[in-house]
Chains A and B, each alone.
Chain A
Amino acid sequence: MTSHTRRKLRLPDQIPLNPLLDLWDQQEPEGPDATRIYEFYRSLADGKLVTTKCMTCGRVHFPPLIVCPNCNGEDLEWVEIPEEGELYAFTELKLGAPIIVEDYAPFVIAVARFGDYPENGVQISGMMFDIGYEDLEIGERVRWEIMEIEGPGDKKRYWYCFTKV
């Protein structure tokens, strides 16, 4: 046995958060992270919540799509989701939040219906802040609101949440 110093591999002190743990889409119009429903994210930045509607069969989609799964049509139009909807169900996540939103827990998670669901409307989930489970009731009016997602780095992205009307 020869005695010598063991080779060391020095790893970085900090490994950046795995992008898979970042729940929000990269919201890129081009490049390898591009999404073909970028118009959805661009509209959020403009203060509008939109989705696609099939001009061939009339189906309203959520999430927005590039091909209609009902009729295979590609003639889709962007339509606005009404600002006010109805609270269908809700809870408040008190334990077990995913790492990226852990600092915001507890928060309310709700499912609300906008427009004439299911024929001509959507049923979507959303977070609610500064409000508790006890402050809400099934059937109450809620509205969607745009929020900004800051970071990592200088990147700014957009999403929506619900507030009580």
Chain B
Amino acid sequence: MIGMREVAIVGAGITRFGVREASWRDLVQEAGKAVFDDVPNLDRKDIDSLFVGAAQPERWVFQTHVAPYVAELLGINVSRVISRTEVACASGQAAIRYAWLAVATGLSDIAMVVGVEKMNSKFMSVSQSSMINVGNREFDGVNGFTAPPFFAMVAQRHMHEFGTTSEQLAMIRVKNSYYGARNPYAQFQKEVTVEKVLGSRMVAPPLTLFDCSAITDGACALILASEERAREFTDTPVWILGGVQHVDSAHTTNQFGDLSHWVGLRKAANDLYSMLKISPEDIDMAEVHDCFTISEILEYEELGFCRKGEGGKFIEEGESYIGGKVAVNPGGGLLSNGHPLGATGVRQAWEMVMQFRGDVPKERYVDGAELGIAHNLSGMAQLHHIMAYSINKRKDLK
């Protein structure tokens, strides 16, 4: 990290997430307009780099080479770095990571990030067929092994080994729905009860429909600037402290080992904590990848918010609500917002920006927060990505 410049998010814009009556390019333009409206002092001619997080545009909208298309739709001439990132569900955070790296190293001064996915169509089973190739299509996908069955088995093993209950899973949805009900951009804005979650249709036991995030359309955009330029655009820059990724050589079931332990997340978290010289207790808020309720329970454990096996107890005791040990998913998480793959990681950063600006309803405002992390996972939870955001620069970190 020696010699790297400090990098800030100076603008953020988002579309409404959901089953949108809008095309892929409509979504890109909506998010672009939102972020340009958010940074009135920015002349788009000053943007020198563009990073587009998009997981499967070639499957869902039959369009490839999407980064230059986004540049065209947003009227940006790129003179430094342009790229599209794909790591399935974490394509969005990957785009932020490369934008951060470009600005931190001096290759770029002002970079734009756009995360976008259009997943809904009349043909839902075709969408599911596109999800199945996130795993190993030839050896796992062929067995119908999409994400819901995989995470159902994670839940089954966690229940088997640690006594986690369906009620505890449901409590994750209840919490995230409470915050989602206060997020006007979320796909689902209704509060739910434990009974409602348990009583919803079974998708893949033990997971019900309300244990799962949705198939979603949406886009989100950010503007990143170097320390030298950041104050031109905002009084409340949100600093990117750093990011980590971890994957063990694994893409197929044979390499996953124990489903109830996410070793990669534990390693990534430890790397982040030692890089920033912080401990889990220092984190005020976390946007974590609750693609399924069980995911958030494992994330409490592997991020070190509680001991291994005690994630169920952690939600039961309310420790992940605002006012508890750490505010987890005050934006409503993937469970409320939906999960447009390429946009999700960018939406998590957008939430951090809104929180640090105090630009959210008070019921979901983490008052006084200084340090937040965003965890974005991909595939069958073998690849983990975490970034840290703060109102303080890295060099001012206490």
Contacts and interface: CB of A to CB of B under 8 A. Distances in A.
Contacts of A97: 125, 128, 144
A25 B138 contact: yes
Nearest to B252: A63
Nearest to A70: B249
A62 B139 contact: yes
B205 interface: yes
B107 interface: no
Contacts of B204: 91-95, 109
Interface string A71-101: 0000000000000000011111111111111
A89 B144 contact: no
A93 B144 contact: yes
B253 A98 contact: no
A112 to B, nearest CB: 10
Given A89-B153, A96-B148, A62 B125 contact: no
Given A23-B142, A98-B129, A123 B254 contact: yes
Contact of A124 (B59, B205, B209, B253): B253
Nearest to B148: A96
Interface residues of A, number: 39
A99 B141 CA distance: 12
Contacts of A95: 148, 201-204, 209
Given A94-B202, A102-B125, A127-B143, A118 B257 contact: yes
Tell me what chain A mostly uses at the interface: helix, strand, loop, or mixed: mixed
Contacts of B143: 109, 125-127, 161
Contact of B253 (A23, A90, A91, A123): A123
A61 B205 CA distance: 30
Interface string A1-45: 000000000000000000011011100000000000000000000
Nearest to A149: B142
Interface string B120-157: 00011110110111001111111111101100110011
Nearest to A25: B138
B379 to A, nearest CB: 14
Contact of B138 (A63, A93, A96, A124): A63
Interface string B235-274: 0000000000000010011101101000000000000000
B252 A21 contact: no
Nearest to B254: A62
A64 to B, nearest CB: 9
26 contacts: A21-B129, A62-B139, A69-B249, A89-B156, A89-B259, A91-B156, A91-B204, A92-B204, A93-B203, A95-B148, A95-B203, A96-B125, A96-B146, A96-B148, A97-B125, A97-B128, A98-B128, A98-B131, A105-B144, A109-B144, A111-B259, A123-B257, A125-B145, A125-B253, A126-B143, A159-B142
